[in-house]
Amino acid sequence: MKKILALSTALVGLLFLVSPVSGELMTVNSVEDPNQDILLNGTITVHELGNNPPFEPNEWIDSSWVETLYRPCLQNADDPNIPNVEVTIVNKTARTWEWLYYVADPETGLTNNDGKVNSCLAFEINKIGANTPLVYESLTQDSHFEPNETWRFVIQDYTNTNNLVASLFGSVGVGSGSAGDVFSSGSIIPEPCTLSLLGLAGLAMLRRRK
């Protein structure tokens, strides 16, 4: 028993050594649209990246926006009376984030969604499939958001009933968790923390070997 506890403690310690200091983790619910590209599906635990403050340095991005004529999702109607916006984000953290997703706040509308996260419109920020919002990576072209890297992605038919710009990521809370928020029009979340999941799986294996 003592040996198992020692191994469990060592595994958890290793998990923290190989993973950068974590910010706040939150649980979200994701539902794919079967007619769109693949999105995270089910109940998952994720980080949220955002502007500093209130986000800590290990989850900090800079952001800005401009209007664009680029249409990321050809299979969905693009209203010529509603602007498409190009959002620029810069990774100010010390780690690489794999596979980012954009999640709208309840007050934000768009037409290039792949499904919903926490009941709000969402899409993967990538260059493949029918919806290709990612238009620029300043470093390696691999959909991995590296330290000091700049990404640009497009939100099709962007609207916000609070008249907030698309580059506001100034509060903690994803989708319905940001309802009525005047500091945020959307959220950026990375792929779930697979390393943490592997650590928990390892602990489960140790228990089974008891």
Name the residue with higher pLDDT: 30 or 12.
Answer: 30
Nearest to 157 by CA among 123, 109, 122, 115: 109
Bridge partners of 42?
30
| Interatomic CA distance for residues 150 and 188, integer angstroms | 14
In the chain, % of residues over pLDDT 70: 80
Give me the pLDDT at residue 23, please: 65
Sheet architecture: strand order including 115-117 = 42-46, 26-32, 115-117, 120-124, 100-104, 186-190
- 30-34, 134-138, 149-153, 181-185: least confidently modelled range: 30-34
Rounded to an integer, the average pLDDT of 4-13 is 37
Q: Could you read off the pLDDT of 100-115 as tens digits, one per residue?
A: 999 999 999 999 999 9
Band the pLDDT of 180: cuts 50, 70, 90: confident
Name the residue with higher pLDDT: 209 or 29.
Answer: 29
Please answer whether residues 112 and 155 qualify as being in contact, where contact means their C-beta atoms are separated by less than 8 angstroms: yes
- Domain spans of the chain, in order of start: 1-19+193-210, 23-191
- 9-23, 26-40, 143-157: least confidently modelled range: 9-23
Rounded to an integer, the average pLDDT of 46-71 is 96
Give me the pLDDT at residue 193, please: 56
Rounded to an integer, the average pLDDT of 14-35 is 66
Quick one: angle between helices 2-18 and 194-208, nearest 10? 170
Mean pLDDT of the chain: 84
Greatest distance between any 2 Cα atoms in the chain: 67
Contacting residues for 58 by C-beta, under 8 A, at least 6 apart = 20, 21, 22, 23, 93, 94, 95
